Amino acid sequence: MEKVRLGIVGIGNQGSGYVTKIQRGDVPEMEIAAICDISPERLEWAEKNHPDVARFDDAEKMMDSGLIDAVLVSVPHYDHPKYSIMGMKKGLHVICEKPAGVYTKQVKEMNEVAKECNVKFGMMFNQRTRNVYRKLREIVQSGVYGEIRRTNWIITTWYRTQEYYDSGSWRATWSGEGGGVLLNQCPHQLDLWQWICGMPSKVYTKMHFGKWHDIEVEDDVTTYVEYPNGATGTFITTTGDAYGSNRFEITLDRARIICEGTTIKVLEYTMPTSEHISKGKVFTNPPILGESTISCNNNGDQHMEVFKAFAAAILRDEPLTAAGTEGINGLTLSNCMHLSAWLGKDIIVDEFDDDLYYEELMKRVATSKRKENVKTVVVDTSGTY
């Protein structure tokens, strides 16, 4: 195999952008060999713009066609596990859009299948390719500054207008997306948060549903967490604040780290806080060793990097950007947040009851209302993720 032949399940906003880029050669070791969508309009779009790419209106037929080696799952969230599992069982390599699914119960099953099938399975966590987060992870995970004491991420740059929510009948519904800002916008940050700082052990969330928009799901979330070592953290997000902030603060034992945009500021001490707190004089801080500012390059098309790594993994067994089985981590946080908000209780992550979560979610799905008279818009999402 010289080039990976990719088939795409679902040619919506994201999918159509990928086709254009991959077909013009942005991912040298990959080509789009087939696409599949249930919408005649989307297939017409494909015929017109990419007549050389095979078209299917049924995912299984595409997977059985022999035309493809790998499949991208780019359908509504609920069906991510279904089509990922289908692909893996047919011996195809799979890359799945975020989130891994809507509830961890189904993602656990997907991960089980991934273990059994000898294929590559990756998640489209394109933000993991950003230099600023790679660097941040390296700093924290190296352990050079000791353990985490506190993490605060204010990530309110996900502003969305009502027109956005009205652009698809499934958008921001319990039955269509299974959640709001946590399921659609924040899977990246939830993944990065745990990728950089590790998984919290306890979650408590205050959540507002349709606070700023005419939607049934959450658009305003404040979460408090505790880590296994006792450190605490917050995660604040919304789609209701114009512009918003993206400020990620990580307090380590021997350094204070603040990440804003593509810049990381590190204030480093000569003595760990935990040592200074017991030895230091009244009203002193540990002596400062130095302060550094790391201005990271904002690398361009992150999705293409994920595809490049995916192709290299298939062709030469190189590492994936994000193993598919890691998709469950951010989703677990997301599910814990919803369950905490619904029940008004602390959720112990290790004891997270995915049956209860599913039950609570289905109560909401049962009364969920798809929007009527929506104007389906295929929007240009470049620069919005």
Are residues 84 and 73 in contact, defined by beta-carbon separation less than 8 angstroms? yes
| Best CA proximity match to 114, nearest among 124, 103, 125, 122 | 122
7 in helix, strand or coil? strand
Q: How far is the CB of 335 from its own copies (least distance, A)?
A: 20
Q: Which is nearer to its own copies, 79 or 219 (CB)?
A: 219
Q: Which is nearer to its own copies, 356 or 377 (CB)?
A: 377
Q: How far is the CB of 254 from its own copies (least distance, A)?
A: 9
169/180 Cα distance (integer angstroms): 14
Residues 6 or more apart whose Cβ sits within 8 Å of residue 351: none
Q: Which is nearer to its own copies, 134 or 150 (CB)?
A: 150
**DSSP readout, 320-368?**
PSSBGGGHHHHHHHHHHHHHHHHHTS-EEGGG--HHHHHHHHHHHHHT-
Task: Return the residues of window 228-267 that contact its own copies according to CB under 8 A.
Answer: 230, 232, 234, 236, 238, 240-245, 247, 249, 251, 256, 258, 267
- 190 burial via Cβ count (<10 Å: 0-12, 13-18, 19+): buried
Are residues 314 and 179 in contact, defined by beta-carbon separation less than 8 angstroms? no
Residues 184-213: x where in contact with its own copies by CB under 8 A, - otherwise, as a string: --------------------x-x-x--xxx
Residues 126-165: x where in contact with its own copies by CB under 8 A, - otherwise, as a string: -----------------------xx-x-x-x--xxxxxx-
168 binds its own copies (CB under 8 A): no
65 binds its own copies (CB under 8 A): no
Q: How many CB atoms within 10 Å of residue 240?
A: 17
Task: Return the residues of window 286-315 that contact its own copies according to CB under 8 A.
Answer: 286
**Residue numbers at the binding site for its own copies (CB under 8 A):** 149-150, 152, 154, 156, 159-164, 167, 204, 206, 208, 211-213, 220, 222, 224, 230, 232, 234, 236, 238, 240-245, 247, 249, 251, 256, 258, 267, 269, 273, 276-286, 377, 379-381, 384
